[in-house]
């Protein structure tokens, strides 16, 4: 995969991270018990977003350094995109938007899906570690 394609993938993931952070914040405000899980998800997404922004800047400034890491980075970004997609759908499903543009939280649905959200939190943590490790590798050896 070429640096430009990776940069585009990174940009779209940054947008998804931002959406998840916003959704997590909206839903978390409605649940006292949800605040930890949703805050942790938002926190992990913020770290991923920061790492991806750093990676994007590096790719734009020195695309030739990507070299052998391109395939590994592509795999990590794909895994991250899949996890983010599921996460965005799950958190988005916990709230519906009213006609006035406000979010109305579905409390019953949250109670049923709390364990699944915790599992997704673990997956997003793994993605964050993977991206951070690749970023460090790219900085050192790219």
Q: In terms of Cα–Cα distance, which of 13, 11, 7, 111 is closest to 62?
A: 7
Backbone angles phi, psi at 110, to 5 degrees: -60, -45
Percent of the chain, pLDDT > 70? Answer: 82
| Structure confidence at residue 136 (pLDDT) | 87
The owner of tokens 């991923």 is 48
2 — pLDDT class (breaks 50, 70, 90): confident
Q: What are the residue boundaries of the structural domains of the chain, listed by start?
A: 3-141
Tell me the CA distances in angstroms from 2 to 65, 97, 139, one per residue in order. 11, 39, 17
Q: Quote the CA–CA distance of 116 and 118 in Å, as a whole number.
A: 5
pTM: 0.79
Q: Say what percent of the chain tops pLDDT 90.
A: 26
Indicate if the pLDDT at residue 117 is higher than 60: yes
- What mean pLDDT value characterizes the chain? 82
Residue 112: DSSP 8-state: H
Residues in the chain: 142
Selection from 57, 53, 74, 67 nearest residue 5 by Cα: 74
Closest-CA residue to 69 (of 8, 130, 25):
130
Across the range 5-21, mean pLDDT stands at: 90
Residues 18-60: tens digit of each pLDDT: 999 888 887 777 666 556 788 889 999 999 999 999 988 988 8
Q: According to the model, what pLDDT value does residue 47 have?
A: 93
- 134 to each of 15, 25, 101, how far by Cα in Å? 20, 28, 39
Q: Is 44 exposed, middle or buried (0-12, 13-18, 19+ CB in 10 A)?
A: buried
Q: What is the pLDDT of residues 63-115, one digit of tens each?
A: 888 777 888 888 889 999 999 999 888 888 777 666 666 666 666 566 557 78
Quote the pLDDT of residue 31.
64
In the prediction, which pLDDT does 37 show?
Answer: 82
């Amino acid at each position: 995969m070429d640096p430009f394609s990776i940069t585009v993938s990174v940009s779209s993931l940054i947008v998804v991270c931002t959406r998840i952070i916003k959704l997590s914040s909206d839903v978390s405000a409605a649940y006292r018990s949800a605040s930890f899980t949703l805050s942790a998800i938002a926190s992990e997404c913020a770290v991923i977003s920061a790492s991806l922004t750093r990676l994007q800047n590096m790719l734009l400034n020195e695309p030739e350094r990507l070299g052998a890491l391109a395939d590994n980075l592509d795999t990590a970004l794909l895994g991250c995109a899949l996890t983010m997609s599921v996460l965005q759908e799950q958190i988005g499903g916990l709230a519906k938007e009213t006609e006035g543009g406000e979010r109305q939280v579905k409390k019953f649905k949250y109670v049923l899906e709390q364990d699944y959200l915790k599992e997704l939190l673990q997956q997003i943590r793994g993605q964050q570690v993977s991206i951070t490790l690749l970023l460090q590798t790219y900085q050192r050896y790219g």
